[in-house]
């Protein structure tokens, strides 16, 4: 199966041919994957310039697509994202690869579990976390005609099949409701196969679908980046009534021994076995009336 990254390159090449409004701006990453085109600009390893150029194109009515590893497209040019795009109120499509630990062997420089939390501090961003190449294509095609600021986070981790529907898609009723974000769905389904819990799926994490949690009072949030990135959003939705919340994700990104992505996933407790352990501890907790508040990680 084609990876999300591979699908993105094909879609970008198609968009460059089909729409004169579209420009692609890269900083070396992807240069060998995208075909030469007059509206494909490689600025070299100058990520701040990459965002600044994209903002200038947007000011001229163009639709820039920006691509690099997550730390290079979000963290390194953070000030340009905040000011050149955000403060000027112009749009671009930022598409990252590498996710939290796909490039684990390259070390911390190529890991960005903080990316979604960081971008979520800025207003006006739509943040997409697809879990399958088909979902990546859906998010990309939806973003292309507009003028908004969109971040699409691709990963080598892939669910077994795409999920149809927008917003929070409930796959199984029950309580607590386990919300799997993007590529965490596959391990969540494995971890909960014989448990009496609900499972829901979410790829668009900003804006957050608050209304979808009406009537829900126990949530287990499983995110493929920093634990608790969307915990405040869940609390906005259900915090006015007694509730319990468990946020699973990357607790400590500073692993200084680099292994495979699978080993990193297990170390962070985001494989099926780790998710299962956390769920069992969460369900075993004895509730007292004064404890019916949002609980921390298991």
Per-residue pLDDT reduced to its tens digit, 98-122: 999 999 999 999 999 999 999 999 9
**How many percent of the chain have pLDDT more than 70?**
96
- pLDDT at residue 120, rounded to an integer: 98
Give start and end residues of each alpha helix (H) in the chain: 4-18, 47-59, 70, 78-80, 115-119, 133-143, 185-191, 231-238, 261-267, 272-284
How much is the pLDDT for 285? Answer: 76
Averaged pLDDT of the chain:
94
Structure tokens at 226: 């920093």
Report, as an integer, the average pLDDT of 164-173: 95
| pLDDT at 122 (0 to 100) | 98
Contact indicator for 31, 21 with CB cutoff of 8 Å: no
- pTM equals 0.94
* CA distances (Å), origin 186, targets 43, 49, 132, 178, 201: 37, 37, 10, 12, 10
Specify whether the CB–CB gap between 124 and 89 falls below 8 A: yes
Distance CA 167, CA 9 (A): 25
Q: Which residue in 187, 197, 166, 179 sits closest to 237, CA to CA?
A: 179
224-234: burial string, b at 16+ Cβ within 10 Å, e else:
bbbbbbbbebb
d(CA 69, CA 75): 10
Distance CA 146, CA 176 (A): 37
Check pLDDT > 70 for residue 263: yes
């Amino acid at each position: 199966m084609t990876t999300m990254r591979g699908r993105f390159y094909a879609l970008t090449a198609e968009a460059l041919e089909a729409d004169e409004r579209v420009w692609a701006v890269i900083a070396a990453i992807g240069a060998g994957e995208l075909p030469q085109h007059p509206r494909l600009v490689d600025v070299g390893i100058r990520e701040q310039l990459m965002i600044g150029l994209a903002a200038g194109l947007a000011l001229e009515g163009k639709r820039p697509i920006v691509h690099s590893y997550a730390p290079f497209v979000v963290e390194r040019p953070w000030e340009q994202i905040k000011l050149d795009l955000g403060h000027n109120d112009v749009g671009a499509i930022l598409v990252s690869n590498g996710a939290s630990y796909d490039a684990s062997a390259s070390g911390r420089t190529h890991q960005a579990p903080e990316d979604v939390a960081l971008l979520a501090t800025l207003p006006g961003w739509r943040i997409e976390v697809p879990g399958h190449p088909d979902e990546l294509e859906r998010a990309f095609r939806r973003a292309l005609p507009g003028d908004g600021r969109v971040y699409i986070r691709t990963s080598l981790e892939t669910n077994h099949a795409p999920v149809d529907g927008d917003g929070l898609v409930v796959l199984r009723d029950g309580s607590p409701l386990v919300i799997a974000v993007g590529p965490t769905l596959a391990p969540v389904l494995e971890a909960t196969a014989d448990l009496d819990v609900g499972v829901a799926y979410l790829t668009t994490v900003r804006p957050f679908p608050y209304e979808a949690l009406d009537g829900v009072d126990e949530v287990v949030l499983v995110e493929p980046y920093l634990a608790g990135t969307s915990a405040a959003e869940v609390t906005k939705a259900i915090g006015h009534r007694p509730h319990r919340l468990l946020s699973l994700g990357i607790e400590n990104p500073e692993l200084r021994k680099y292994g495979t992505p699978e080993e990193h996933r297990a170390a962070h407790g985001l494989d099926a076995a780790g998710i299962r352990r956390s769920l069992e501890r969460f369900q075993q907790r004895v509730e007292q009336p004064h404890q019916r508040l949002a609980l921390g990680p298991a």
